[in-house]
Every structure is written in structure tokens, then in C-alpha cells.
């Protein structure tokens, strides 16, 4: 007789099971990735050395991973906050560009006293990011315009705006190339004396702590969960739905904007056309894998940062092409995502009638 398999959604996912499926997915994905890499000619003994020791266990490698992690945490957290209230923010890069532009604008015009310049750049970048997400938020609230489309398109507009500035008023006149002039020393986030790791790390950790606190402890966080589960029921229950949605979505935009400023002030020290690439993809992956949990965002960002560091190693020493690096990264992420199935559902087999 035929065996039928039935997926039954679990009402509650035990924490141990949740962790176990993640770990199993990760191990399976890494094993698959290792297989691909060995087939591509990377010597098998080098895999452990390059991808575990170099990426996470040496001071230099760990420094690179943490540096890559900092903006990832901010965009991941931004996406997660919006996701909590069922707002699909596909305009992460747009908000990031706006934040980067705001910070650059403050720097170029030397606004405020030198001591306050950096805080001002960071604060304004959050406002700019929030502003860029406020537009699709307003469209959605007023006329029900799908934010998936409007945030995505505003991302492109932001990039054209950046290009307009870089080829126009903000172009570095010293070189004629489309990058803004480099930032003064006071406008840069201080280095922590560990590779390229900068004070943006504290901002990222602070943001995670704050978000975890708001979501886990405060009434706002509790309400947000209700709104995310069922907006109409939440409204019927008398919750301030509009306030909750607005504060989470604007917060999300502010965090993405801050990520832009952190990239400009922490590692790039100027605005260029290439700083924001890839953060849309990363942000969504992080938020999804972390299930919008702030602490998990931190962990996933760290692992993704490691994946990027390892990707650099592959390119540098083994001549692995960009396409293959993306494939390998994709295999790992997909298998972790797919493993969630086993946490969310239990599989029952029964004889077909």
C-alpha cells in the first residue's frame, strides 16, 4: 500500500528542537558546500583551516568577520522590525543610501561643531532612513499601495539620487572620480584597535539590546506581536495599531539609514557608488533566518559575515569565481532555511486509505 506523509504544523516549537534543526541545516549545508568546493579543486584539508580557523578562530579573520557583521546587524535588525508588523521592507538599500547621503551631507557642509559632527551624522542618517521608509508607509496606510513595490522602487530612486550627487555637486574635485571627498578624522568612527573593527560595533550591539528589550519586555513589543499575528483582531482589541506599525516601520528605516552612515563613517570614509550593494539580499536573509528575533539577528549576521570572509578567502587563494562563491553561500543559506520545515512541522506517515 502507498505510504502517505502528512505535515502537521506544531503549535509550539520547543527551543531545543529549534536549535537542533538549525544546527543540522547548517552542518548539511556546509557539507554540501565542502563537496562542491572539493570538486572545484580546493584541497580538502584546507577547508577546515580556511573556513573555520581562518574565518572565526584567528584574530585577523575574526576581525574581518566582525567588521563585515556590523552593517549586517543593522540592516538585518531593520528588516526584522518591519517584518514583525507585517511590513515587507524591500527598500533596505534605499534607506541605507539615504542614510549614507545624510551623513555625507553633514560632513561636506561641516555642519555643527567638530565634536558633535559624528553624532550629528549618525542621527541625521537615522532620520533620513526613516523618511525614506515613511513614504511607502504613508502610501500603504492611506491608499493600500503595496510596500513591496514602493519600497523596492524607492531603492532605485535613492541610488539614482546618489549617482546624481556623486557625478555632480559631491564629486571629489581633487580626482574627478565619482566619489565624495574623504571624511575628516573627527567624522570617522574610532577604530577599536582590532583589525578594521570600529565603534560601529557598539552601535550595532546597542541596537540589538534595545530592540530585544522593546520586543521582549515592553508593552509595545507585546502589542507588536499581536499586530503582526492579526492586525484586525489587534484593532478590535483596542490596541493602538497605527502607532505600533508606524514606530516599528520608522525604526526599521532608521536602522537601515544608520547602517549607511556606519559604512561611510566606519570603513569607507566617503560616499561611493559601491557601498550599498548586496545589503537588500543580506537583510532579508538575516531577518528571515533569525525569525525577526533581535538576538538571533546578531548570531545570523555573525555567521553571514563569516560566510563573506570565507568567500574572500576562496577568491583570493583558490581562484574560485564570484558565481561559485555565491552558489556556495546560497547552498548553505538554503539548507538552513529548508531545515526550518522540520522545526515548524512534524511529519506523520500513515497508510493511505
d(CA 285, CA 166): 30
Instruction: Give the CA angle between residues 101, 175, 71 to the nearest 5°.
Output: 35
- Identify the helix (H) or strand (E) that includes residue 198: strand 197-198
Judged by DSSP in three states, 11 sits in: coil
Contact (CB, 8 A) for 79 and 284: yes
Shortest distance, position 49 Cβ to another protein, whole Å: 12
Shortest distance, position 108 Cβ to another protein, whole Å: 12
How many other CB atoms are found less than 10 A from the CB of residue 345? 14
Shortest distance, position 332 Cβ to another protein, whole Å: 19
Q: Enter the C-alpha cell of residue 30.
A: 556546509
Nearer to another protein, 65 or 151 (CB): 65
- Footprint of another protein on this chain (CB under 8 A)? 60, 64, 67-68, 163-164, 167-168, 171, 173-179, 181-182, 195-196, 267-270, 272, 274-275, 277, 308-309, 312-313, 315-317, 319, 321-322, 325
Q: Enter the C-alpha cell of residue 150.
A: 514602493
d(CA 40, CA 161): 41
Shortest distance, position 321 Cβ to another protein, whole Å: 7
Nearer to another protein, 197 or 224 (CB): 197
Nearer to another protein, 164 or 346 (CB): 164
Question: How many helices and strands, by DSSP H and E, does the chain display?
Answer: 13, 4
Shortest distance, position 177 Cβ to another protein, whole Å: 5
Nearer to another protein, 112 or 312 (CB): 312
Judged by DSSP in three states, 30 sits in: helix
Nearer to another protein, 48 or 177 (CB): 177
Shortest distance, position 140 Cβ to another protein, whole Å: 31
Nearer to another protein, 48 or 167 (CB): 167
In the DSSP assignment, the letter for residue 112 is S
Amino acid at each position: 500500500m502507498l505510504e502517505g506523509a502528512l505535515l502537521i504544523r506544531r503549535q509550539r516549537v520547543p527551543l531545543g528542537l529549534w536549535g537542533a534543526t538549525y544546527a543540522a541545516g547548517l552542518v548539511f549545508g556546509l557539507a554540501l558546500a565542502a563537496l562542491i568546493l572539493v570538486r572545484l579543486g580546493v584541497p580538502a584539508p584546507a577547508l577546515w583551516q580556511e573556513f573555520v580557523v581562518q574565518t572565526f578562530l584567528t584574530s585577523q579573520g575574526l576581525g574581518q568577520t566582525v567588521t563585515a557583521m556590523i552593517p549586517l546587524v543593522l540592516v538585518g535588525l531593520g528588516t526584522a522590525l518591519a517584518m514583525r508588523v507585517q511590513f515587507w521592507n524591500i527598500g533596505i538599500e534605499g534607506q541605507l543610501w539615504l542614510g549614507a547621503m545624510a551623513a555625507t551631507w553633514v560632513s561636506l557642509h561641516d555642519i555643527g561643531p567638530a565634536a558633535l559632527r559624528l553624532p550629528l551624522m549618525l542621527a541625521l542618517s537615522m532620520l533620513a532612513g526613516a523618511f525614506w521608509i515613511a513614504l511607502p508607509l504613508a502610501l500603504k496606510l492611506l491608499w493600500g499601495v503595496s510596500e513591496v513595490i514602493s519600497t523596492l522602487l524607492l531603492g532605485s530612486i535613492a541610488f539614482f539620487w546618489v549617482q546624481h550627487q556623486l557625478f555632480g555637486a559631491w564629486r571629489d574635485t581633487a580626482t574627478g572620480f565619482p566619489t565624495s571627498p574623504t571624511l575628516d578624522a573627527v567624522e570617522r568612527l574610532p577604530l577599536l584597535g582590532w583589525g578594521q573593527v570600529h565603534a560601529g560595533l557598539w552601535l550595532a550591539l546597542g541596537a540589538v539590546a534595545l530592540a530585544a528589550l522593546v520586543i521582549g519586555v515592553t508593552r509595545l513589543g507585546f502589542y507588536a506581536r499581536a499586530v503582526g499575528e492579526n492586525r484586525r483582531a489587534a484593532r478590535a482589541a483596542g490596541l493602538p495599531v497605527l502607532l505600533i506599525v508606524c514606530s516599528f516601520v520608522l525604526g526599521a528605516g532608521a536602522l537601515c539609514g544608520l547602517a549607511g552612515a556606519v559604512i561611510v563613517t566606519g570603513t569607507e570614509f566617503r560616499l561611493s557608488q559601491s557601498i550599498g550593494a548586496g545589503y537588500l539580499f543580506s537583510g532579508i536573509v538575516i531577518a528571515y533566518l533569525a525569525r525577526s528575533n533581535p538576538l538571533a539577528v546578531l548570531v545570523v549576521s555573525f555567521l553571514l559575515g563569516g560566510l563573506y570572509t570565507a568567500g574572500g578567502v576562496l577568491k583570493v587563494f583558490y581562484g574560485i569565481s564570484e558565481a561559485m562563491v555565491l552558489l556556495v553561500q546560497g547552498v548553505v543559506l538554503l539548507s538552513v532555511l529548508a531545515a526550518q520545515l522540520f522545526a515548524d512541522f512534524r511529519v506523520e506517515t500513515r497508510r493511505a486509505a
